[in-house]
Amino acid sequence: MLSNQLHNGLETAKLLWSRIPNSEDGEVDGGSLLRNSNRNTVESLDYEVIENYAYREEQAQRGKLYVGYYVAVKWFLALLTGIGTGLAAVFINISVENFAGWKFALTFSIIQRSYFAGFVIYVLINLILVFSSVYIVTHFAPAAAGSGIPEIKGYLNGLDIHGILLFRTLIGKIFGSIGSVGGGLALGKEGPLVHTGACIASLLGQGGSSKYHLSSRWLQVFKSDRDRRDLVTCGCAAGVAAAFRAPVGGVLFALEEVTSWWRSQLMWRVFFTSAIVAVVVRTAMGWCKSGKCGHFGSGGFIIWDTSDGQEDYSFEELLPMAVIGVIGGLLGALFNQLTFHITYWRRNYLHKKGNRVKIIEACLISVITSAISFGLPLLRKCNPCPESDHDSGIECPRPPGMYGNYVNFYCGKDKEYNDLATIFFNTQDDAIRNLFSAKTIHEFSAQSLLTFLVMFYTLAVVTFGTAVPAGQFVPGIMIGSTYGRLVGMFVVNFYKNLNVEEGTYALLGAASFLGGSMRMTVSLCVIMVEITNNLKLLPLIMLVLLISKAVGDAFNEGFYEQQARLKGIALLESRPKYQMRNMMAKEVCRNQKVVSFPRIVKVADAVSILQSNLHNGFPVIDHVRNGETLVIGLVLRSHLLVLLQSKVDFQHSPLPCDPAGVSKSIRHNFSEFVKPVSSKGISIEDIHLSSDDLEMYIDLAPVLNPSPYVVPEDMSLTKVYNLFRQLGLRHIFVVPRASRVVGMITREDLLIEDSEDPASVELHSTSVRGHRQYSMISRNVDVERPLLNGLLLQDHMLG
């Protein structure tokens, strides 16, 4: 009788545990995760999905309809993420193009009369745009500064950095990047768009933002961090797909660069999201074609069509291409190193002085950038236009108010152009289009390209790290295509008989710099192909990327990894560290004092344990007969805090909770255990208990995870690492070696035929079961469980 009741009690335990969403929060425990800064803002997420049978049992009871609804919501949210990200990208692009278009149109019209007045207006407009951006970021959404990709990478690796996925961050990112990109700074809008996509996905995944009353109960079906993570992955892909109009590149970027765990089922959904983005963006651009979007025209999205460029390449060209790869690796590694040091200095000295310094810094950089981009072309002599070639459709000088090559700027005659102004005094998109352009051999002089390379490289290094949203893709393409075009010029002069286009080399240079800095491979390759709409150069891009990545890797880590490290985002890499080969599991936890809970804990004890340390998870150990103990599960700090705060589970007796009250013991709604992303959750200091409360007891059985993963104490740490990393765990118990083996599980044991009919399973496992509803009870009766027997006996003794 009593035993049956206890069975029920423990089953309830599992049942409730399973209903508690798998989100863990609170302070980082014990370790020295963050040596630099912001210790309190980084939390760990738990991506392992607790799939114990009770959870599934319950899901099954809720019916197929619910599962279908759940799947439908997943796809619907992916759809919404795609649409949202696509619209955000369109909005950003239209705004940026219009601001930049007005700016250049106004400046060009004023310099007809006075270059000085034009300069002042140009500087002022840029300053206003940059100021608005930095003001929004510093005063409203501090987490919107920078690229955001390292933070998203950290989130998908299992770290929740405070604030990165909030609604205000989304708003700050969108408007901030309009200001910073429209203001002509040496940065791009692609990283911010990835962050934007991730924010949209995360907000959708948690059913809106409760703070701004934008939440919907109807969408709050995602209970686990894993579902949210999957949606955020979709959001990242959508961001890239929207930024570059490269849907396949987006999928690969999410796969290669951002996610830490990847399931093939997810690929399908990510692919879908990217396709939606492609459709949304294309529709919007079609709508804008009729001139409804102001200055936003063909120049909006970064598509640099080079499909009319070089058709073929010869073997002699492989050498200069390899040179480009090496240059890309060197300059990319240097870029990473310089930005690393400057960002380090900024974080630790400059930006500690407050928001005013951040604003002044950004405004100063804006003025310098404006001055250089306006002033340097003034110093450059104009070149006469080349003999016009009507077939190519390229006019020289370009008509006023249009996009195109051959900008007439501070030139004496009408038929002249300023090659430095063509790239410098222009939007970055147009500059890249000019650098990539074919049939414009000898448009740029080596001197102009070198000047631009040095100046822009310096500006990009200095600008990254200011408190504005900043992407590194477009600046990287600018830098790379400049030296690529430079190499191309030499190739054209040297191999005179080849049909070489300088634009091809500019493209390869862009690929090489991005490869040398960001160290991506397949995704970058596909993105480059998609944005240039030219498949013929694919093998060459691959070659250049291989070389530049290899050269870069010889010096330092990739750009995002370095930035993540600076920000205290400690990523768990997919490969275990070298030192782990020589270590055992128990060595890493030797200094730890294992703090464990008994099954029935006094409230006062629980509070003092929680106050005495920062651990996030505690083993629950129960005493059985002859003083022996048994590990019955893992309880999380966050769940304990919920129990302590709500007080409904407090009981007067130190006995297991009333077995008759199986249904009563599930007193909590799921959502009480769900914590929104990027929030801090409850802290032990927030909980106030009376002295009566402190004298009461809590039965932890209903909230514990009954089977966390375990490893033997002398297992090699590399094996432990693989287990931890591959399954996305957060806690592993290190236990002594077992005394016996109950069974062996091999491949064949896990090859259960999928069928709706439970009879086949029973055939396989030969377990005696009744209907699904009664399977738990019958299993308990049927299966010999040392754990339960132990608890049983203890219970008898207590009784």
Piece of 320-328, 487-495, 581-589, 597-605 that binds a second copy (CB under 8 A): 581-589
The tokens of 779 are what?
A: 């299993």
Q: What is the DSSP letter of 254?
A: I
* Closer residue to a second copy in complex, CB, 31/400: 31
Residue 298 CB, shortest distance to a second copy, in Å, is 14
Q: Give pairs for 216-225: CB < 8 Å, separation 24+.
A: 219/73, 219/77, 220/671, 221/69, 221/70, 221/73, 222/77, 223/21, 223/22, 223/670, 223/674, 224/21, 224/22, 224/23, 224/49, 225/21, 225/22, 225/23, 225/45, 225/46, 225/47
Burial class of residue 741 in the structure, from the number of CB atoms within 10 Å of its CB (0-12 exposed, 13-18 middle, 19+ buried): exposed
Within a 10 A sphere around the Cβ of 308, how many other Cβ atoms? 15
Count CB-CB contacts under 10 A for residue 589. 14
Told to check if 262 binds a second copy by CB under 8 A, we report yes
Query: Does the footprint of a second copy cover residue 742 (CB under 8 A)?
Result: yes
72 interacts with a second copy by CB under 8 A: no
Please choose, from the candidates 799, 798, 792, the residue with its C-alpha nearest in 3D space to the C-alpha of residue 7: 792
- Of the two residues 506 and 542, which places its CB atom closer to a second copy in the complex? 542
Smallest distance from a second copy to CB 242, Å = 13
Distance CA 738, CA 744 (A): 13
Taking CB under 8 A as the rule, does residue 352 contact a second copy? Answer: no
Nearer to a second copy, 385 or 720 (CB): 720
Residues 50-69 that bind a second copy (CB under 8 A): 50-53, 55-57, 59-60
Q: 630-659: string of b/e by CB count within 10 Å (b at 16+)?
A: bbbbbbbbbbbbbbbeeeebbeeeeebbeb
User: Which of 572, 666, 689, 777: binder of a second copy (CB under 8 A)?
Assistant: 572
Residue 256 interacting with a second copy (CB under 8 A):
yes
User: Exactly one of 113, 356, 737, 771 binds a second copy (CB under 8 A); which one?
Assistant: 737
The structure tokens listed for 127 are: 């300053």
Rule CB under 8 A: say whether 566 interacts with a second copy: no
Q: How far from 13 is each of 227, 601, 656, 664, CA to CA, in Å?
A: 24, 15, 11, 12
767 scored as a contact of a second copy (CB under 8 A): yes
Residue 488: CB atoms within 10 A of its CB come to 29
Binding a second copy (rule: CB under 8 A), the pick from 584, 603, 610, 687 is: 584
State the DSSP code for 618.
E
Closest CB to a second copy among 420 and 543? 543
- Least Å distance, CB 191 to a second copy, is 20
- H helices of 519-581, where? 522-532, 538-553, 559-566
- Does position 570 interact with a second copy (CB under 8 A)? The reply is yes
Shortest spacing between CB 529 and a second copy, in angstroms? 7
User: Per CB under 8 A, which of residues 130..159 are in contact with a second copy?
Assistant: 158
State the minimum distance, in angstroms, from the CB of residue 765 to a second copy: 5
Can residue 575 be called a binding residue for a second copy (CB under 8 A)? yes
Q: How far is the CB of 649 from a second copy (least distance, A)?
A: 24
Could you say which of 444, 452, 559, 721 contacts a second copy (CB under 8 A)? 721
Span near a second copy by CB under 8 A; candidates 86-94, 141-149, 170-178, 709-717: 709-717
Distance CA 26, CA 638 (A): 7
Here the tokens at position 111 are 């310099």
CB 181 within 8 A of CB 224: no
Which residue, 690 or 760, is less far from a second copy as judged by CB? 760
The 10 Å Cβ neighbour count of residue 349 is 10
Which one, 493 or 765, has the nearer CB to a second copy? 765
The yes or no reply on residue 625 touching a second copy (CB under 8 A) is no
Q: Of these, 211, 577, 625, 796, which contacts a second copy (CB under 8 A)?
A: 577
> What's the CA gap between 536 and 311, in Å, rounded?
7
Distance CA 553, CA 576 (A): 18
Q: Which of 128, 171, 338, 546 binds a second copy (CB under 8 A)?
A: 546
Crossing angle (nearest 10°) for helices 502-518 and 428-436: 120
Binding positions for a second copy, 18-37, rule CB under 8 A: 28-33
Among the listed residues 83, 655, 735, 793, the single contact to a second copy using CB under 8 A? 735
Binding status of residue 230 toward a second copy by CB under 8 A: no
473-494 vs 446-463: helix axis angle to the nearest 10? 160
Q: Which of these ranges, 84-92, 210-218, 247-255, 335-343, lies near a second copy under the rule CB under 8 A? A: 247-255
Q: Is 271 in the site for a second copy (CB under 8 A)?
A: yes
Residue 733 as a binder of a second copy (CB under 8 A): the answer is: yes
Q: 587, 605, 658, 693: which one contacts a second copy (CB under 8 A)?
A: 587
Name the DSSP letter for residue 738.
Answer: P
Position 594 contacts a second copy (CB under 8 A): yes
Closest by CA to 544, choosing from 576, 566, 514, is 514
- Binding flag, residue 590, a second copy (CB under 8 A): yes
Closest approach, Cβ 124 to a second copy, in A, equals 41
Site for a second copy in 471-530 (CB under 8 A): 521-522, 525-526, 529-530
